[in-house]
Structure 1
Amino acid sequence: MNDLSIYQEKILSLAAENKKSNAIEDYNRSFEVKNPMCGDEVKVRLKLINNQIEDISAIVRGCALCEASAGLVVKLFKNKEMPSEKLSEEFQSWLNSSDQEIPKTLPIEMDVFRPIKEIKNRHKCITMPFEATVKSVKR
């Protein structure tokens, strides 16, 4: 098994796990992001109390990459402090850079998307759930 297949396995596992989840009903923040180029849609709902994300869901109508990214958002932020407002910008910046190593400012789990760095037209698919999370917190 090569490195790329390990990444693919992790991405597909995240996507499958998120696909089974339901939208939370008890929430006080939400944001929806749509990608008009490919049709992906992400709806993030979260319950934010005292800067803590008590619960979160990220429901996707779209590709496996978007679904996997949404699954990672839920894993990273449920029962955690709200993410930095710069998180989605830093993620996008890393994806566009030639640096292979993930910056220390980003959660190491986001490294699962390293193989996608070379596929520029799929960046939006994996950044949308992070963008929606940050924007829902800001509202």
Structure 2
Amino acid sequence: MSAETDLVKLYSDRILALATDIPHLVRLDTPDATVKRRAPLCGSTVTVDIALRDGKISQFGQDVKACALGQAAASIVGRAVIGTTREQIVSGRDGLKAMLKEDGPTPPAPFDGLEVLRPAKDYKNRHASILLTLDALSEAMDQVSQSDCG
């Protein structure tokens, strides 16, 4: 009964509200980079499109086919991503990973809203889905950096 109660707490009203209100669900027509990531354990997928101006994300689109936790993470990231740099994306991803895997501190701003997902740290099978959007964004930013160098 305790595990069931914990799972109910995990899917809080706040997480469910975020999952139903994901911004930037329209894909970009001419992105600078597109990345699709899949969580192998659950099959959740996220595709992100980014456009950059002066090293910062100026446009963002996403297609999210994930569990409520992955959707909530995509919602939080989607609200914060415009204007962010590669360093902020990587820092947010690494912070989220540490929060989930090591009960580390809340990810730094502008991704500090991901704190709402802290209860998922006890559900390792959900971590990959929660990390999808920031993993895809990190890879997309790397693609743009590599194309700028070549």
Query: Percent identity among equivalent residues?
Result: 23
| Rg comparison, structure with higher value | 2
1:58 and 2:65 matched: no
List alignment gaps of at least 5 residues for structure 1: none
| Contact 2:57-2:82 at 8 Å conserved across structures | yes
Residue from 105, 109, 117 that aligns with 2:113:
109
Residue from 78, 83, 98 that aligns with 1:74:
78
Alignment of 1:1-139 (within 5 A): 8-18=12-22, 21-82=25-86, 83-99=88-104, 101-102=105-106, 104=108, 107-139=111-143
More helix by share: 2
TM-score, scaled relative to structure 1: 0.82
TM-score, scaled relative to structure 2: 0.77
Kindly report the root-mean-square deviation, in angstroms, between the aligned alpha carbons of the 2 structures: 2.5
> 1:13-61: CA deviations, max 9, x gaps?
2211118832222321111111222111110111111111111122112
| Contact 2:121-2:127 at 8 Å conserved across structures | yes
Letter in 1 for 2:55: N
| Contact 2:107-2:115 at 8 Å conserved across structures | no
C-alpha distance in structure 1 between counterparts of 2:49 and 2:109, whole Å: 24
Aligned residues: 135
Residue 79 of structure 1 deviates from its aligned partner by: 3.2
After the TM superposition, list the runs of 4 or more consecutive aligned residues in structure 1 that deviate by more than 4 angstroms: 4-7, 103-106
Structure 2 SS opposite 1:18: coil
| Contact 2:10-2:119 at 8 Å conserved across structures | no
C-alpha distance in structure 1 between counterparts of 2:123 and 2:10, whole Å: 17
Letter in 2 for 1:40: S
C-alpha distance in structure 2 between counterparts of 1:134 and 1:118, whole Å: 25
